[in-house]
Structure 1
Amino acid sequence: MDIEDAWARVPGEAARWLHDLDPDHCYSGFEPPRRPDSVWLLHAMYAWEEGLVTTTHDDVHQSVAAAGLTDTAAALADPAGELPGDVGDLLEGAIVTGTDLGRSGHPGTGWRRLRWKELARGFGEPVVPEGELPGNRCLRQGHPAGSWSAAIQPPAEGCLDRESWYRLIGVLLRHSPSGSGTRCLAYYCPLITADWEDETVFAGRLGDAAALYDHPAMSSCPSDLWAEDRSWVVYCDWDLWGTKVVGPAALVEAVLADPDLEAVRLPWTR
């Protein structure tokens, strides 16, 4: 399937109703209020199966830099050489946290899924502190100085992980009356598109939504995905480690009950 054929660009006005609901978050995604229920999906993290280490992602980065291999590392990360020339200056002295921005997925052999609940229980802290959203204020004992253990791949920021996205689409298919034929719209915020003039919105079918994860023009899943009848909305803020699902109670309960998803209710969110 050609993603660009399945998902056609439509006028940005299609996202106006979300802008009206949340006018202050247009650059990072629109957060819809509970309509009538909501749940937060926690982006997946992974742990090295042989155990944790005290060495952090920043320690590894500093070792690479000290060995004079930073140019090689940068070339591997960006073989096309398309990174802006001032990125190195901006990052100089910054802590390498280990957190990815955008798409992520299971790292492969040797890694296991590490649930937020498991890590929080080990630290004796809540999964998400009261009053907070899923993000870098969570699980602070896991990254006390900003950088995670090199034996942990922390949750990605700004985008649901690949496996959870596929699983979520499956849940939505079962809870949408028209199933795979459900008409949907997908909005990508300017922090993803770099288009600050026009809203980027695509229209397609729910049956083709799994493929949106790898839209060739984007580095992330949609900031907002919703059914044309607005019965449910999926919201993924570019600055968070969690994705909000808003819709009927039955849909929310199905997300909470799915064994392959990690989801929590955050009653203090709107």
Structure 2
Amino acid sequence: MTEIDGSWSRVPGNATGWLAELDPDHGSTGFEPPRRPDAAWLLHAMYVWEDGPVATTHDHVHRSVREAGLADGSPSSDAPAERGVEALLAGAVVTGTGLGRSGHPGPGWRRLRWSELADRLGEPPVPRGEYPGRRCLRAARPTGSWSAAIEPPAEGGLDREGWRRLVQLLALHSPAGSETRCRAFYSPLLTADWEHETVLAGRLGDAVALYDHPGMPSCPTNFWAEDRSWVVHCHWDLWGTKVAGPRPLVRDLLGDPDLEALRLPWTS
């Protein structure tokens, strides 16, 4: 039995009904809670090679590898199905953006704050009226592809380091601390199960392990305390994670040096 299996159990029935009432237009990508009474977005971390960005993009690297016949570590197959996929993707641009789990790339890389890059570009990190996602920081990728010296924000899930720090702060702002009972919802886009709801129940102190759930490609889509005092929302198509809860919690998220958070009032 894995740590996940021992600490988190499946919740039968409809456990997300109250979230659906808050956000009735969504579900497959998760439920976005309104302020409770406050909210902030955690911007998914990105990283830059310490020597700085380069003109070569992720798309350039991808095309060079394919032209050399080294895609997926081996020469391209001549199978008709694979040739069809190659033809379909021939004009696509590889952006460099990952999907799901992400984290610090290792030695030689440093955290690149959205605010730092936005100041350099002369634009806001998140334009007014937008969500943190593909419409942000466009000047950094004029061709659609990021510099190969930048690991851009992952789509669909908070970065590993951010998730760990978020769990710590949630414990500090929950009366029962790490013993707080929580629920974790994984959307059908993660589970590929459109017939049954996937919700797990467990302790907040065991939530760090959810990031590496062996059956899921990302952190939970929604995560909340059983008393509903706070709710976390990771939209599968976005580069940001929303946390709605008490004002002291949001204030600490905004001021935490290990996170990059901001309020987006038009999303609440």
Q: Same fold (TM over 0.5)?
A: yes
- SS of aligned partner of 1:256: helix
Letter of the 2:118 partner, please give it: A
Letter of the 1:68 partner, please give it: G
Letter of the 2:42 partner, please give it: L
Structure-2 separation of matches of 1:74 and 1:168:
42
- SS of aligned partner of 2:15: helix
In the TM superposition, residue 89 of structure 1 has moved relative to its aligned partner by 5.4
Partner residue in 1 for 2:130: 132
In the TM superposition, residue 93 of structure 1 has moved relative to its aligned partner by 2.3
Partner residue in 1 for 2:27: 26
Letter of the 1:14 partner, please give it: A
Letter of the 1:49 partner, please give it: E
Structure-2 separation of matches of 1:220 and 1:149:
24
Per-residue CA shift, 1:134-169, capped at 9, x if unaligned?
Answer: 001000011122100000000000000000000000
* C-alpha contact 1:47 1:114 (8 A) present in aligned 2: yes
Q: How does 1:25-104 map to 2 (within 5 A)?
A: 25-72=26-73, 88=86, 90-104=88-102
Partner residue in 2 for 1:252: 250
Flag the 1:74–1:12 CA change in 2: closer, same or farther, 3 A. farther
* C-alpha contact 1:12 1:200 (8 A) present in aligned 2: no
Per-residue CA shift, 1:84-119, capped at 9, x if unaligned?
Answer: 967555533211100000000000000000000000
Structure-2 separation of matches of 1:211 and 1:2:
7
In the TM superposition, residue 19 of structure 1 has moved relative to its aligned partner by 1.4
Structure-1 separation of matches of 2:97 and 2:74:
17
Partner residue in 2 for 1:78: none
Flag the 1:89–1:183 CA change in 2: closer, same or farther, 3 A. farther
Structure-2 separation of matches of 1:70 and 1:93:
16
Which 5+ residue runs of structure 2 have no aligned equivalent?
none
Partner residue in 2 for 1:81: none
Flag the 1:71–1:261 CA change in 2: closer, same or farther, 3 A. closer
* C-alpha contact 1:12 1:201 (8 A) present in aligned 2: no
Partner residue in 2 for 1:180: 178
Partner residue in 2 for 1:115: 113
In the TM superposition, residue 6 of structure 1 has moved relative to its aligned partner by 0.4
In the TM superposition, residue 25 of structure 1 has moved relative to its aligned partner by 1.6
Pairs aligned (count): 262
Percent of matched pairs sharing the same residue = 68
In the TM superposition, residue 264 of structure 1 has moved relative to its aligned partner by 0.5
1:264 aligns with 2:262: yes
Letter of the 1:93 partner, please give it: G
* C-alpha contact 1:58 1:97 (8 A) present in aligned 2: yes
Partner residue in 2 for 1:80: none
Per-residue CA shift, 1:168-213, capped at 9, x if unaligned?
Answer: 0000010000001100000001111000111110000000001100
Partner residue in 2 for 1:236: 234
Letter of the 2:175 partner, please give it: P
* C-alpha contact 1:180 1:207 (8 A) present in aligned 2: yes
Of stretches 10-19 and 157-166 in structure 1, the one that deviates more from structure 2 is: 10-19
Partner residue in 2 for 1:79: none
Root-mean-square deviation over aligned CA pairs: 1.6
* C-alpha contact 1:4 1:215 (8 A) present in aligned 2: no
Which 5+ residue runs of structure 1 have no aligned equivalent?
76-83
- Out of 187, 190, 196, the position equivalent to 1:189 is 187
TM-score where L is the length of structure 2 = 0.94
